[in-house]
Structure 1
């Protein structure tokens, strides 16, 4: 997910925006519909007034229908139809109120006014896009249809909602289109980091992403130029050093005494070893293309390392079966294992190294005292445990550099008199 953080952020923003806009329009739709229903429900006052006068004056049904017809209200007289409407309609709103009827009465004391309070209930219902008002009273009920009144229509709100959603979607599509060069740039940077030094970041355009791409292209060219100069310089230096070393080795044989010959042979031999190690360091640090990495059996790599170390095989115990395989550079990985074998034999009192697999990790065990410093100290160039040893202190530095090329690390642990170096 981290590789697509920007894209995920944009999509998340789009989702939040769409949900927020949808929620706002939904609330607006409900509010607008509620206001519309409240507005048309106000017509019940006219209906109630007409119906009340009908009850008070006890007028005929024809007179009631005539009074309602003035406002284009129609009474539904079919009882079966009325029942069907009540069972299948959707209740929009209802209201309870009291109706007060007054009548003049005569008793022994004379005339008096009698007030009768009756409960009324009016409901507004909708069926098949038609609005009905249903009035219930203690003495009867009536179903009235409003011929002019139409149900609430949401088309205008839906049109506005879809228009805004379309605008937002198009805007985010345009944003994603603008981010596509950034995605391509990320892929190119990944390829460059994996060793493709010839990939081009150059692009046309004048926006921010194009400017960054062109700056990266300029930086890539400078890096390639520096790497080429460095490689050429190191190779020339090593080539120039090998010639006097070879001449010195030959001239050593002309010395008169054996002691002098051995001393100078040792000096030139160490110089030649140092040049070879420098050449290997240059090779490791300049590895960018991993196309030569192939699959090898681990046991074959270890056998090649032992042959390279030119040691007696009895000095190495191998506790590894033939199954494990690695995708590595054969030359570099055998060099790393060879250095670990040399290191174990050189610093262990019994001059013996055991190679085994623990928790799917390659381990090198040798007896001896625990190293005096943290491992980080020994993987720095030109550091070593014992200055009297015939070494330049580049062994573990080379091992660590080779493992980094193979996306591994060198680790160390000490257990009951055994130093264990681990390729993790």
Structure 2
């Protein structure tokens, strides 16, 4: 799955890394700006401490104390219930002494008035519902002041910037996915073309890179189609034109009075007809114009049909097959492949016999004879053979290999003692009753 969507996975990975990086950066900016905001507000604590200390040692009166606080936009919270709620549920942002982890556990210090002036004043900055409070603690009592000139830190600018960047990334990602969609269509079209569908069209509107590639594929496909059509027409015309002189030659050969030359010429023309037939079959298979009509057949019936097509003596073909084995095949093509294997085995065997057996899912054609001098890949090329004087054009195994590939099979070769074994290996399991 990942291999089939590697580009999409890469884009998603890049987007994820980008979003994570941007989010981490903005979070660090948020923490930094919030800390600076708190530090700026907390600079008031020294002024509050000074005013409160002056009030404690009776240097200013209560009205003067309140006036000094109001001058700096500070107002005392006098409602006991509100005081209790803020102390219990507020968040301590900073303190000039050792902060208490829980506000509700803090109680006024029970010290005498004579010593309270010498006691330290602890000021804590508290945030509650967007408001900033200064909680002043001393030996005598505590005091809660609301700073009306400032508010808690609101990262509106950062949130707006973060949202804008995320929106840009989302739109960019959407555009990338949208621009990559034609690749999926193009991949399916190429797959269809590879399967032999010459009618598929790659034409695509646009002037981007994908459209340019698709349109170049369309042009290439048109050239390939033209070459295939030209080759097919040429081969068919050649084969058609050759059939007429061959037919005339066979008729003329029958008029010869001498038996030996007559048989020789008839053999030559028969070989030419055979060659044309093999050429026609090769052209159909390799050009992709051969439409297989696969059906389910018993393997033993296919072998019998091949023996009849090879016009071989039944005594020369020994079979040990399970009658229940069935194969999905184009009967005519598969019979042709088996016929060629039987012909080869009989032709190159000193005792002119071939044995056909089943080994698991594999069909084995074995005969006595000399081991192959070259790898099997050499013999499945057209017009290759070890004995040029033999009655053969070197197309037998080439045709066998082409037909087997169309049936999801491969041809293999093994040397077992003095036996040559040509093996049809199915890539899919055969069926049994």
- TM, length-normalised to structure 2: 0.80
Q: Deviations over 1:193-215 (max 9, x none)?
A: 22121233334433433333333
From 307, 322, 325, give the equivalent of 2:324.
322
Counterpart-to-counterpart distance in 2, 1:224 and 1:311: 41
Match of 1:246 in 2: 247
Match of 2:356 in 1: 354
Match of 2:40 in 1: 39
- What is the CA distance between 1:277 and its match in structure 2? 1.0
Counterpart-to-counterpart distance in 1, 2:394 and 2:45: 101
Q: Deviations over 1:196-244 (max 9, x none)?
A: 2123333443343333333333322222222111111111111122222
Q: Deviations over 1:98-125 (max 9, x none)?
A: 9xxxxxxxxxxxxxxx9x9755543323
Preserved CA contact (<8 Å) 1:297 1:322: no
Match of 1:363 in 2: 363
Counterpart-to-counterpart distance in 1, 2:36 and 2:318: 91
Matches within 5 A, 1:226-245: 226-245=227-246
User: Which secondary structure does the structure 2 equivalent of 1:421 belong to?
Assistant: strand
User: Which secondary structure does the structure 1 equivalent of 2:97 belong to?
Assistant: strand
The two structures, once aligned, show a CA RMSD in angstroms of 3.4
Quickly say closer, same or farther: Cα 1:26–1:321, change in 2 above 3 A: farther
- The worse-fitting range, judged by mean Cα deviation, of 245-254 and 229-238 is 245-254
**Structure with the larger strand share:** 1
Q: Give ranges in structure 1 of 5+ residues lacking alignment.
A: 99-113
- What is the CA distance between 1:281 and its match in structure 2? 0.8
Is 1:145 matched with 2:146? yes
Preserved CA contact (<8 Å) 2:198 2:225: yes
User: Which secondary structure does the structure 2 equivalent of 1:200 belong to?
Assistant: coil
Q: Deviations over 1:346-366 (max 9, x none)?
A: 4455622324254xx533241
Quickly say closer, same or farther: Cα 1:123–1:215, change in 2 above 3 A: same
Counterpart-to-counterpart distance in 1, 2:192 and 2:290: 10
- TM, length-normalised to structure 1: 0.81
Counterpart-to-counterpart distance in 2, 1:257 and 1:388: 25
Counterpart-to-counterpart distance in 1, 2:122 and 2:416: 92
Match of 1:107 in 2: none
- What is the CA distance between 1:287 and its match in structure 2? 1.2
- The worse-fitting range, judged by mean Cα deviation, of 369-378 and 8-17 is 8-17
Match of 1:220 in 2: 221
- The worse-fitting range, judged by mean Cα deviation, of 374-383 and 4-13 is 4-13
Counterpart-to-counterpart distance in 1, 2:365 and 2:95: 89
- The worse-fitting range, judged by mean Cα deviation, of 138-147 and 149-158 is 138-147
User: Which secondary structure does the structure 1 equivalent of 2:423 belong to?
Assistant: strand
Quickly say closer, same or farther: Cα 1:97–1:319, change in 2 above 3 A: same
Quickly say closer, same or farther: Cα 1:301–1:127, change in 2 above 3 A: farther
Matches within 5 A, 1:113-192: 118=119, 121-137=122-138, 140-192=141-193
User: Which secondary structure does the structure 2 equivalent of 1:96 belong to?
Assistant: coil
- What is the CA distance between 1:381 and its match in structure 2? 1.0
- What is the CA distance between 1:267 and its match in structure 2? 1.9
Preserved CA contact (<8 Å) 1:121 1:135: yes
Match of 1:111 in 2: none
Quickly say closer, same or farther: Cα 1:275–1:91, change in 2 above 3 A: same
Q: How many residues align?
A: 405
Matches within 5 A, 1:16-415: 16-57=17-58, 64-77=65-78, 81-96=82-97, 118=119, 121-137=122-138, 140-288=141-289, 290=291, 292-297=292-297, 299=299, 301-312=302-313, 315-320=317-322, 322=324, 324-326=326-328, 328-348=329-349, 351-356=353-358, 358=360, 361-368=361-368, 370-406=371-407, 408-415=409-416
